[in-house]
Structure 1
Amino acid sequence: MIVAGRGAGDGVRLVLEAEEAMLLSELADQVDSVLLLGTDDDPALGRLLPDAYPDDVDAGREFTRYTRDNLVDGKRQAAQSVRDATSVGDGERLVEIELDQVQAWGWLTFLTDLRLILAERVGIIEEGTPEQDEQRDDYLRAAYEWAGFVQGSMLEVLDPTES
């Protein structure tokens, strides 16, 4: 995967191998499924939509009532944007994706949501925290790490820091 800028900070150009694009598309489907079909007792959904008022049940319920649908819609739209951009045609080896800044930040929203779900599934409470079972869910852990790499690469292009 290659991430490059497009001019003076205007956006991001991604060059993905077809397998990487298909993986992102499948992961976007999974994020969408959690958002659409997840139940309130799913801890991954709890990470995506945390309780704004954990010490006040009534205020939390009221906040959820007014904000949840819009939050879920925005997250689902971000996942759909990734699915749309990562569709792979027959015989394609590379998929080139041009994202303006708004689209790129939508992708970053998706990657954050994806990493929150994957972290919950593999038991990562906080990055860098040693875990009980380092070998658990190697595929999900690898996807978590790769999504972090993509996210970090995009952020470097969108918001470069002075050395």
Structure 2
Amino acid sequence: MIVAGRGSGDGIKLVLEAEEAMLLSELADQVDSVLLLGTDDDPALGRLLPNAYPDDAEAAHDYTRYTRESLVDGKRQAAQQVRDATNVEGGDRLVEIELDQVQAWGWLTFLTDLRLILAERVGIGEEGTPEEDEQRDDYLRAAYEWAGFVQGSMLEVLDPTES
């Protein structure tokens, strides 16, 4: 079970079970793989990096040419930040992670990217509803819902007025 609470200053403190930390680390690896190795025909990559100008091929090409590398780099850095923080060694049952505001927002970027990839893989449309003809993977759906819970918990701590 994850616990999110106020850390020192304006930051956040996460308490994860070791298995949850390992899961987040593995999921960060997978997000990084999609970003690094994904092809333009991968719909999950399309969700992460949507076409900014669907009706103007030249403008879309220019936008991609000038922004894609920095967008991918930022997303990969967010995944790396999660991987670094969740690298657990030893027999600790609980993993405590202190994040400052900037780090917490990096985690939220990662969780958003993760949920977009998982939503695509389990057939959740852009409106957040399951597509009827898609066969769903229960493990991926559970990971999608759990990542949403983590994300929501973090947001409640970072901005308690938005509850």
| TM-score for both structures, normalised by structure 2 | 0.94
Give the distance between the partners of 1:134 and 1:40, measured in 2 at CA.
21
Give the distance between the partners of 2:162 and 2:123, measured in 1 at CA.
35
Give the distance between the partners of 1:30 and 1:43, measured in 2 at CA.
15
Q: Map 1:1-163 to 2 at 5 A.
A: 1-6=2-7, 10-126=10-126, 128-132=128-132, 136-161=136-161
Q: Percent identity?
A: 84
Deviating beyond 4 angstroms after TM superposition, the runs of 4 or more aligned structure 1 residues are none
- Structure 2 residue matching 1:15: 3-state secondary structure: strand
The number of aligned residues is 162
Give the distance between the partners of 2:157 and 2:25, measured in 1 at CA.
22
Shift of 1:129: 2.1
Change (3 A) 1:115 1:162: closer
Shift of 1:127: 5.2
Structural RMSD (CA): 1.6
Change (3 A) 1:134 1:64: closer
- Structure 1 residue matching 2:55: 3-state secondary structure: coil
Structure 1: state its 5+ residue gaps. Answer: none
Change (3 A) 1:12 1:125: same
Tell me the amino acid that sits aligned with residue 73 of structure 1.
D
Structure 2: state its 5+ residue gaps. Answer: none
Tell me the amino acid that sits aligned with residue 14 of structure 1.
L
Give the distance between the partners of 2:115 and 2:50, measured in 1 at CA.
15
Shift of 1:5: 1.1
- Structure 2 residue matching 1:161: 3-state secondary structure: helix
- Structure 1 residue matching 2:150: 3-state secondary structure: helix
| CA displacement 1:84-130 (0-9 Å, x = unmatched) | 00011121101000000000000000000000000000000045524
Tell me the amino acid that sits aligned with residue 101 of structure 2.
Q
